[in-house]
Structure 1
């Protein structure tokens, strides 16, 4: 899953968990480093105290007073301590001398490199001499400045904090093992890892529950917005009953402000849609009433024009042409009024007849009528042998086919081939009107089904078209539960009507 698809809940839980984990890591590292530093400081202090005790209470290079204890008294065995690695006994076992601590290291080296005594104290208290390699490593790694440093003496002994000093031509080395420090820091690391992992797991579970609970109001607001987004708001009477609950509109919270704003927005949208619907209804009623009222005076004008032209009374050529134009324009206006009235009724949801209509016979009649009306075009019919029928209003469907054929006739030059094809595709009856004309301007194609749309000059539009034919065809097709579309390129334009078969 990509980061862009994460939900807000997952983002909050994961992001907060990562921050908590980083805080645990930082805290654990700081604790471990602080403890290790503190333990090493204590160990260094013990090493310096042991070194100071070995060279004398006055510090190395003292005045040599008789009250300074001898090295044997200080816990450093005398020469002849035995072969390297052999048990030399416990130094300082003489009366009055304290036994060295377990895990400590001591060595006395003369100026000529002779090792007078060297060894370390085992866990059982025995003192074991150091090997020549270990002595060489101490001489090369530890400076005689009494400053402790870490030296790894191998797998048998491990790491030591060692300090060295010179006294009377002798190099005295003292050290303590870091085993306890390493064990302590390792144990602390394990404890911190275990505790941090358990705490982080509890924190993640708690965060999940807390975030889920905190985001429930936002989920409810989102569901309201999602339901509203599925409503069809493009046309018709629209009601938006969904609102965010009062519990999720508290202005004191962020989600509450979102819910309250969404309610206000939905209220404004519903008011705007209601105003739009009211305006559309008023316009439809006006168009329907005006169209209905205009039919009577238009019929009267046409009748009087025909009456005047039918009389034998003499009239000038101008009068005769005027009456002829009055009649033709009255016919054209009557057709426009009828188209507007039909569109207004379809917009108002006028119920259409629901009869069985044989589209095959309807197509045959439409092509025959077009051939009789215009012989300058080549009209073709392409239908299957089977009869294709749909349920609908036969007169309105005839009007759809007639409008498409008339559109092809009007907007293509003489000699254009117009083909009406009818076929069944699945559960649909598909009717196509194709022509070989110059095509439709792409700038006009997007508004071709708008009312009073004007096509470009390339399709030779004449002044007799009202610009409502395709709008009526679309309205009738959609009223039958179908769809209409157009595809056009240079030399081929196809109008396609799909109806439930």
Structure 2
């Protein structure tokens, strides 16, 4: 037989406090750090790009200035230039190219060595480079950056005179080398700035959000207090240091403390009302016992003369006796619930549940002979830490509930199992079942499911039997649950297991 899941009682909070991690995924702190780091990265990369562009333009400007001087020293096209084989003006840089283009002749050279101002050595440009230079559409004084095949990137300018055009170019290899070094340095510096920004932002954010995290910890602690009933103690408050109205978090902490004051006052008022109500129920029930006992006694006295009464009178006296019995049972149940609510004095000791199940089922078989009763017990006794008489009452109420609210011929099985350190008693019947809308409140007081679960003729129900079951089980730190559908209803209670006393286990 499968055991249904055991539902936690309302008085036992199941939510555990979550560990507060300021930079966990999805937290405000993590988002702030990521956004600050992204902002710093964008600014640092932007500044690096601007600096690199400015440095490049400055160096290209310096190359352009040298280029202007080079073409002015060249003296323009005609005799005296390197392309004409005449003497070359001093001051030219190694790698400088000179290209002359006329209507009948094109030639170009590159300065490859300089021994002194008067000792220079040129070599002719390749045909591909000369074709590239000849194809350039440069006006006089115009500058352009070109990639010459076999020579690299050059900055060139042109000068024209008549039918002759001279192009002079300077290499940008030094500029490229310097820019490469600058970009690498800026990349390393930007990475370092981002890392420092992340660490600094993390420290600042964690420190700044610490009051908010403490406020969340306080809220978590309060949310895990059992506030549903009884006297509530240990409601913590936000520290005074976190209630400074100057800051936003301080105002939240101040409002939170004010809310907790109101909640604590409301809970205290509710507890006082509960105490008064329980005392009233206990006092009223106690005072009702004497007149009820007198009514029952006088009704029983009339049995001797009922054969002399009219049938209507005899029926009325019988109903008075029956209803006085029912009201006495209701008063006893109310007294028991009042005692359980005020903190029952239970005689907790290792108790053999199999023996209780046997005795209670035997009593139920006598009370309901028209039902089919069966047992499913383990081979070894199962011991739980409980009060023998109260646990017997729990099982008696469950069996009476099955007997009262199911038709004749219903099969009722009582089983005992052990699961996860709990001794579980289940009462299963194949009756009509409990409606789904009533299952959530079936253990509350005065809840009745008479619409679906049929009461037998002459049956009686106060609506307190299952409420007593839940109260007694909760007093044993156990659990109670119901799982019902048409044709199968399972009531289950779980009580913490216990090690039997040596004298009990030897019986």
> What interval of TM-score do these two structures reach, taking the shorter chain for normalisation?
0.7 to 0.9
SS of the counterpart of 1:5? coil
CA drift of 1:52 comes to 5.7
From 31, 42, 50, the counterpart of 2:51 = 31
Q: Report the Cα distance in structure 2 between the residues aligned to 1:255 and 1:282, rounded to whole angstroms.
A: 40
Between the two structures, name the one with larger relative contact order (CA 8 Å, sep ≥ 6).
2
Name 1:211's counterpart in structure 2.
205
Q: How does 1:10-409 map to 2 (within 5 A)?
A: 10-48=30-68, 50-51=70-71, 54=74, 71-72=79-80, 76-77=81-82, 79-80=84-85, 91-92=88-89, 98-115=90-107, 118-120=109-111, 122=113, 126-133=120-127, 134-155=129-150, 157-311=151-305, 314-355=308-349, 357-409=351-403
Answer yes or no: is the 8 Å Cα contact 1:108–1:118 preserved in 2.
Answer: no
| Number of aligned residues | 470
Q: Work out whether residues 103 and 123 of structure 1, in 8 Å CA contact, stay in contact via their aligned partners in 2.
A: no
Change (3 A) 1:123 1:329: farther
Question: What residue number does 2:503 align with?
Answer: none
Moved more, 240-249 or 118-127: 118-127
SS in 1 for 2:82: coil
> Larger deviation: 484-493 or 246-255?
484-493
Q: Which residue matches 2:465?
A: 469
Measured in 2, the distance between the counterparts of 1:424 and 1:172 equals 104
Q: Is the 8 A contact 1:380 1:418 kept in 2?
A: yes
- Aligned residues: CA RMSD: 2.8
| Comparing 121-130 and 321-330, the one that deviates more | 121-130
Q: Which moved more, 1:123-132 or 1:437-446?
A: 123-132
Indicate how the Cα distance of structure 1 residues 242 and 111 shifts in structure 2: closer, same or farther if over 3 A, else same: same
Instruction: List runs of 5+ in structure 1 lacking aligned partners.
Output: 61-69, 82-89, 93-97
Q: Deviations over 1:262-290 (max 9, x none)?
A: 22222222222212212211211111111
Report deviation, 1:362: 2.6
Q: Are the structure 2 counterparts of residues 412 and 384 from structure 1 closer, same or farther at C-alpha, using a change threshold of 3 Å?
A: same
Matching residue of 1:444: 438
SS, match of residue 99 in structure 2: strand
Counterparts of 2:24 and 2:217 in 1: how far apart (Å)?
A: 21
Deviation at 1:333, TM superposition (A): 0.9
CA distance in 1, matches of 2:263, 2:417: 44
Where in structure 2 are there 5+ consecutive unaligned residues? 1-22, 498-507
